[in-house]
Amino acid sequence: AKDYELRQYETAKWVSTVIRGETQKEAMRQGFWKLFHYIQGKNEKEMKIDMTVPVTCLVKSGCTDFKISFFVPFEHQDSPPQPTDSNVFIEERKAAALFVRSFGGFASPEKYAEEADALARTLRNRGQPFHEDFFYTAGYDSPFKLFNRHNEVWYFKK
């Protein structure tokens, strides 16, 4: 469709952390650094791992827990090094169909929420069943990239 796409993602591993009781912006900051330390060698193999995109954040309606995640690079999917920080974990996300809305600019939690609302309205209007109680934000750019930024919101298809 012109304002969203339906993507099929395969089963894959992500390294994640949950930040509780903070604003989304602060949770993203804290979560990013925990995960960045993991890829910089704070893992049982003391191995540096390439940074990947997107960086995702699970946002649940009415909840102040945010799960921030980095995609585990393809070469480490089979056996990612285990985190040494007890608040960082490897998770396997099952294959899923996702409705995706893309947008540019610097994405704030408010902008992500606006875009998620717009996607939800479109999906409801088109009779597309989806899990409405949560969505993911996905950021693809370094904070130092100023132009042609790429951000997304994801809803899981039912």
Tens digit of pLDDT for each residue in 23-63? 999 999 999 999 999 999 999 999 999 999 999 999 999 99
- Structural domains for the chain: 5-156 (3.20.80.10)
Number of other residues whose CB lies within 10 A of the CB of residue 1:
11
The per-residue pLDDT for 1 is 80
Residue 81 has pLDDT above 90, yes or no: yes
Give the model confidence (pLDDT) of 141-157 as tens digits.
988 899 999 999 999 99
Residue 132 φ/ψ, nearest 5 degrees: -90, -10
Angle, helix 109-125 to helix 24-39, in steps of 10 degrees: 100
Instruction: Determine the 3-state secondary structure of 32 from DSSP.
Output: helix
- Rounded Cα–Cα distance for residues 39 and 51 (Å): 7
Report pTM. 0.96
In contact, 35 and 68? CB cutoff 8 Å = yes
